[in-house]
Structure 1
Amino acid sequence: MSVEMDAENVRATADRAAGRGMLRARASIPRVPRTILRSELTARFEEAVAHRLTLVSAGPGWGKTTAAARWAQRRKDVAWLTLEARDDGASAFWQHVLTAMRVSGAVPAAHPLGDLRVPTRVTPAFLRRLYSAIEALPDPTVLVLDDAHLLTDDDVLSGLADLLRFPGPLRLVLATRADPVLPLHRLRAEGELAEIVAEDLAFRPVDVMAVAAAEGQTMTTADAGALVEETGGWPVGVRLRLTAAHEPAVDPQASASEYLLAEVLERQEHERRELLLRTSVTSAVCADLADALVPGGVSVAAFAGLVSNDFVTATGGAGWFRYHPLLRDMLRAQLRLEDPEAFREAHRSAARWMVHNGEPRQALEHAATAGDWDLFGEVFVDSAAGGLLGPDRESLAEALRAIPYADLPHTGTLELCAAADAVVSGRFEAARVHLAAARRLLGTTPRASASALLAVLVAMAARGTGDVGAVEAAGREAVDALERAPWRFPAFESYLVIALNNRDVGRLLVGDVAVAREALRDLVRASCDGPPSLALFNARAYLAFGDLVAGDIDVADASARDTLADAERWGWSASLQVRMAYAAAGMAGLLRGEDDEADRLVAQGLAADAGGAEPSSVLALRLLQTFVAVSRGRAHAAELALTAAEEVATALGGTPMLLRDLVVRALAEVQLLTRTARTWHGGRPASDDLAVAQVARARLLVAAGRAEAALPITRDVLRHGAGHADLVRVEALLAHASALARLSRPGVDDTLSQALDVAGPDRLVRPFVAARDEALDARLTRLVGTRHDPVARAVRARLQSGPTGPEPDPLVEPLTERELAMLSALPTMESNAEIAADFYVSVNTVKAHLKALYRKLGVASRREAVRRGRELGLLD
């Protein structure tokens, strides 16, 4: 089978994700019957949603969902999401909220909310982008979160609290059994909280009479009043009491299970009873799913007779139904009690159906509930693991940690599960142990999906430790496994994108630049019409860096900045997968003399740490940091940055070939700036480009007073100049001019003029002004004064700028993404409260970030932080 990456493969993944019927059903307003027209309650909702938050809070059976849905059906500005336990994590929660808002039609075409993609870890950058996009909604919108009591995660609740902090077009309605841990006191004080409680939801006699009429019964006002008195107006109690064959008391404090069992389940004929029991294992059901759970059973049309009594609700998704939570809980418990094996088999069937309908995460839950860990492993390997680089990453890891490994026999698939958990957790040594065990247990003829996932995980672990050779080899192994696959299993396209990215990034890192660039370009081109993914972002970022190393500076700069702009638009700017784009854009700008911009890009790149570890990109940024310090003439900062780079390379076990030329340049420039001999302890420092190493050696020889020895070296490089990148040629010409000047030989001006000519097309300013030979300053100043091309003007401006005062202390500890953003706000006249509004956080949160920022900058005040930020090039 051919596994060429093409746009059709990419679109297939998007189409499958878009077709998730169950998610669309959860993101649709339930279709409740309008047998009761509760105008007062509807008016209460209308009044409530003028507030920022409406809390519909009552215990089970009080009709929260029914009342909210009946009101919402009358409006066109409501987005709805029925929450489930798996939503209690920041990435999954915001992913499904975005889906609900898009499904509702609240998000217009080309609106920022349409582009946002949830990263593997929800970052402040993503949340700020999200809140800003919500604020830009053209019309007021209501978001209903049903079963909001399931939300307990601190990050989810914190995100909701920040969303509620300031006015905007979005109104939240939370239907919940208990008050959420949100700043309700503040919202009450501001008059922005409306509460609808059990007393508001309780049936009145007129409502009881309407329900009775819908059931074909007649009831007097007195009887209705008595029933309200008996049940306290509890809607489920009223329903049960009206359908009961006997007349026991029903009240909100008593368990409804016995009534539901007797009056809903036991009154059904056998086939419908079986349908109710087995379909209760899923949160919603449609005809196809019902057939999978009860083969040859009663059609889903059997639900029609139950919809009118509120115990079964038709969702907004066509053909989908949902049980009342009380009924579902009772049915599940009854099925497990009556027939444990049928309970497990229903969950197995649900898992298989979910896999084939694009819901692998739910399939894992069903396999786990069935206790079928072989099926769990199969689902993970064939389907779910494709989400390891998406918003399901942490949710998948949580599911993997629920496996009782110690109680199960070791199998290849379960070892892959353990390895995936270790990779996501950053336990790379443990991952290698599990992967070795998986390889042994899978044998010589494993399934293609298992082989591919094994190689993908090997590559992910290798990238986390910086073993670039293993990244490339594992990428090739994964691609080969997919090539042999007899069929395209559900995760095939996801694995393919990751495998190709790993293979070609690995090729680039080991120095096969030409082949890697072409392959990465093919991968990126194939993704143009598909959805964004972190693997494809990583391919774009590394391609930009590869273009830079190959000397295509304009192409590298443009593609790196396009990648960063898209990452910002989609909310992924803090993901490590885009880190190499920061390095590429920073180096391209630095070569053109844009030191401040490079400083900011270094800081932003180091702060982009969401999604794991990748030392190779950290090394690239530390080298860029070294170059920036050299360009500014800051010897101490340059030495510290080079030492930091050295430490990363040492941990890697050596310097990747892709970065060796940069190491050679950085080492030479730090020695030239500090006038101190230095060696590189981060593995092999020698450049694979002989010319780069020769030029570096010549520059050091000239600085050491051995210009005569440098001349043969520079002549040799220039003799073969046509084969070198323009940057190498410019550096060689400047080293040659330095040697001639030191020896008082003719040709210095002609050589400098030639260097300016070669530097022109790529606007290479930095070689003329960074770690330069002072013997050339007067001649170069005079020469650029006679020229009017862009490079000459830029060099002239830099030479005339002179020293900027004593060198400031370097920034040792990197700033986080949020701290960088806070720093950028400090030069304004905004108060902390206004900054908090800009960032959609509390004033206390601003103060906490500023405290950490001041500590890292070594300052005590806002004014000092601004000064320090400007010294470091982080502020204009």
Structure 2
Amino acid sequence: MVDVTEVPLLGSKLEAPAPPPGLVERPRLGRVLDAGLQRPLTLVNAPPGWGKSVLLSWWTRATDLRVGWLGVEDGDDPRFWSHLRAALSSAGGFAGDALPSPDEAPHEVFLARLAAVLADLREPVSVVLDDFHRIRDPRVLKGLEYLVRHAGRSLRMIIVTRGGPGPPLARLRLAGAVTVLEAAELSFTMAETAELLAALGLELPDRYTRMLLQRTEGWPAGLRLAGLSMRGHCDPLRFVDGLTGDHEAIAGYFVSEVLDGLDDGHLEVLLCGSVLDQLTGSLADALTGRSDGERVLAELWKAGTFLDPVGDRRSSYRCHRLLGEFLRRELARRAPRRVPDLHRRAAAWYAARGSSPEALQHALLSGDWRMATDLLAGHWPDIVLSDSAPPFGAPDPAPPEAALRDNPDLALACALHQRILGDRQGTDRYLRLAEDRAAEAGDGKAGDEKATAIRLIRSVTAGDVAATFSLASRLLAHREGGEGARSVALSALGTARLATGDLRAAETALDDGVAAAERAGLDRARAVCLSRLAVARALLGDLHLAGRTAHDSLSVMAAPAVCGYAYLALAITHHEWGDGKEAARYLDLAKSPGDRLLTALIGIVRLWSLQAGESSAGADGTLREARRALTGWAVPTYIAHRFTAAEAALRTSFGDTGTAARLLADQAGASPGGSAPLAVALARVQLRDGDPETALRTAAGAPNGELGLSLEAGLLEALAADRLGRDRHASATLEKILRLADRERFRGVFLREGRAARRLLSSHLDSGTACWPFVMDVVGCAAERTVDGPVAPLTERELTVLRYLQSVLTTEEIAAEMHLSVNTVKTHTRHIYRKLTASRRREAVRKAREARLL
């Protein structure tokens, strides 16, 4: 008898969704999915609209592997195993009724039989479980874990979901059996954004494309919605300039995909938390008066509601920018009178935990002027060093004239708030107002110390070295400021010394600043001094000490004013150690919220990484970005020389020695006097141009600068002497710099010079060296870097196609030779290109030969 209540399995559930119009293919993610097939489970986990299903749909069509598909819907829990059986069967390769039915035996017996059948397969089978978050039964997760563990290498499962994976899958993840793609990886890149806009018939200047990418944070659905809306807009550039989460199409998406699925308690936490950049359970409780904030935030994250955990412990969450803007609009519409009270509660919460800068911001936004001035009076050295991001959508608090007249310190508090917002004119307006009010009260010195400190930190951020020296001296001259004022002044003075290249003086000032901050009990000032001290030590070549100092600063306080410089220092140390991947990771973490010096230094180090061959793609774009960081301010000579030398070295590595020489001559003419960076870069140009005699003299005469520059100059001198046949000179010079490099493990300087340095080092091993272990280490690393293998192994069929690709046969002729269809050969070729990160046939053959596949 047929059960008329049984819901039939629709064929559409076993088919990947059709790609959207204007599909942007994403080979970089395809390579991750290809590599993921080496593990039993791939987890694609992100909030709605992040292109998960689109990516998997494209990938399953592009691959020639056996891949089944199951689109999960609400209420599928009881029928899940029947549906999974159908999805596996649709992938093909199973004879008759080889797959057991869940209706024929108890559940545990069915799972064991299914695992046994899968384990016996000659070729692995893959299955995509789309929208898996709709499964609520924890026994399903447990059963999948069982299958993954016991099916061996024959089953490859790809789970597409929102939020947390659940305890069973988390255990597999801890065991290293899971490849993970999350929102950070799925976010669109600049190139993918431009491709999407082009597919929609839009062409924007790079600046506006980048602005659109930043405002959407790479959210694919947000970018597509914005692009579709722009097509009907009379002024697309103005549209991008004003895009927020309030836009009708984006707001509608949030209503349907986020708000409609929430109960009142979860919605209240989201709405109240929208006044903040980051939210913890305790802070959510303080805002709402509830006691379950931590649990609610965890549940919101697991539901995929555009909350990102901050850090590994998932105790703090950050809301997506567009959703935050939408939620603030909803809060203002539903309960406008609650907004000041929410800021007041946030201010009290931060103040109770010693977070004075955040407390001050929220006190001003709440209109509690007394709380704001009390915080300034008691904690100004800590507050003035803050460059923490202002609360989402924070406006100008605009206190009434009467409040400003009665209390000049309130104007100083507002000046600090405007500085954090990056509003220079607003900062100056409130500073002048504070001085005018103090003068009217007959006390021209009232608040002078605080005003000087505000101007000082603003000059540091703006890169105004002359003003920084002057204001730092003025603040140090204040007797009543104590150790707090002294630590602020020394942090600024040390940063200015860093900008001028007076690194030993910078180290002394910042070291003294650390001591003053410790005596005053100011964690933020101590962390700020430590982070800049780490950069000075990294540039000087004290790499191990620089690394420890950077980690010390981060352990004291992970604030924006600290992290940018600390991560930059770690990027420099790993670059000099020859660890390009770690250097790139730390460089990506280094942020520069309005700090001109930090932005310039980050740009210079990015050019170093390009010269090192760690990434040759996008060199022109990186150069443009780095140049942009040097516009609009009086760039110190040291920074200008460092940048020009880095650009010249990069162009020399590309063979463009003519441009490199002109750049160096122009810079030397603009600022006469000896310069180690320029001399080293010029010696490299001369050596590349076949003039070793001049290169040797230039390198030998380079001013004695930082250790890294001295090592570069010495290596170029040794290479030039070797080319001239002066073996003793080359050997003596090489041994001298090896002794210096060995102490701090400076491997990068040798690795960047490529085969010539490797050959010289290998010869030096034969002639004898006191640095044998270090030289062997460098030579071994250099050998590894000469081969750049594929991201994922090639199959036997792909290797056969690859061998044909090195011939002159056309695709049609290769297909005829292999007795395959033309489309199959094209599919294999696409996979080869993706795995070898190549875009053309000749490039793929070249990379295959370098990887010794041919």
TM-score for both structures, normalised by structure 2: 0.46
Q: Which has the higher contact order (CA 8 A, sep 6+)?
A: 1
